[in-house]
A = this chain, B = another copy of it.
């Protein structure tokens, strides 16, 4: 994420939270009071979002607060561990508190959940990847959190990858025709992926020349069979699986022989992890 984009995301978050000013802190805490503050994990977590927190303090605190991250994105922090510290104007730290935590708790939540999926498939050749089911406005940060958790990123948006899904197939007249059109029209540096739901469609996709096949909503044993066919017929084709994947089933999918397992829940249903900001006057 470019610095400018991150600045914009943080600026909007602060605009909606701070609005015309933090009346409570301005009313109750004198200008010259200084504080030391620590972001403390209240449960074990994988850290993510520390860059966003840094920018929050830059925008709110300017020269009046010194912020220091104590862990890097991707590090495992135990309950009670300290992620970052800030020191300076107490008012500024108070104003920055909530937005900082909102970024940190949500993004670390994504990283923490991703790590669970990645651990579940450890030792297989499958990688965990994200989807476009991200929070509107936070895609780049959430995709970075997925990487922090050990996952990989699927395409960034509709413009940097071709993925022909069920609705496209229905409207384009089937796999063969859809793949043909895609190969003809898209720039020569983009691969063509097509979603299939059974072996017959898989065979059609391979014949049509798909570069990547997404096996959607199949049981692990069906995936195993499909993978065997694909490996035999088109060894260079990449295989992705999606649908029906959760922490209980993900290893079975990984062992079925696919390259990638995409999991929407990484970003659309991760709960926030618990982090608090502890402040003391100084």
Interface residues of A, Cβ cutoff 8 Å to B:
1-4, 9-13, 16-29, 33, 35, 59, 62, 90, 94-95, 97-99, 101-103, 105-106, 109, 129, 132-140, 152-165, 167-168, 170-172, 178, 181-182, 184-191, 193, 211-212, 238, 240, 259-260, 265, 268-269, 271-272, 277, 279-281
Determine whether the beta carbon of A20 is less than 8 Å from that of B134: no
A129 vs B160: C-alpha distance when bound (angstroms)? 18
Determine whether the beta carbon of A154 is less than 8 Å from that of B28: no
Determine whether the beta carbon of A24 is less than 8 Å from that of B168: yes
List 13 other contacts, CB 8 Å, given A35-B167, A268-B272: A22-B159, A23-B159, A23-B190, A24-B162, A24-B164, A27-B185, A28-B181, A98-B133, A102-B134, A160-B189, A188-B212, A188-B238, A191-B191
- What residue of chain B has the Cβ atom nearest to residue A160's Cβ? B160
Total copies of this chain within the assembly: 6
Determine whether the beta carbon of B27 is less than 8 Å from that of A158: no
Determine whether the beta carbon of B188 is less than 8 Å from that of A190: no
A104 vs B29: C-alpha distance when bound (angstroms)? 30
- What residue of chain B has the Cβ atom nearest to residue A37's Cβ? B167
A19 CB contact (under 8 Å) in B29, B156, B187: B156
Determine whether the beta carbon of B137 is less than 8 Å from that of A13: yes
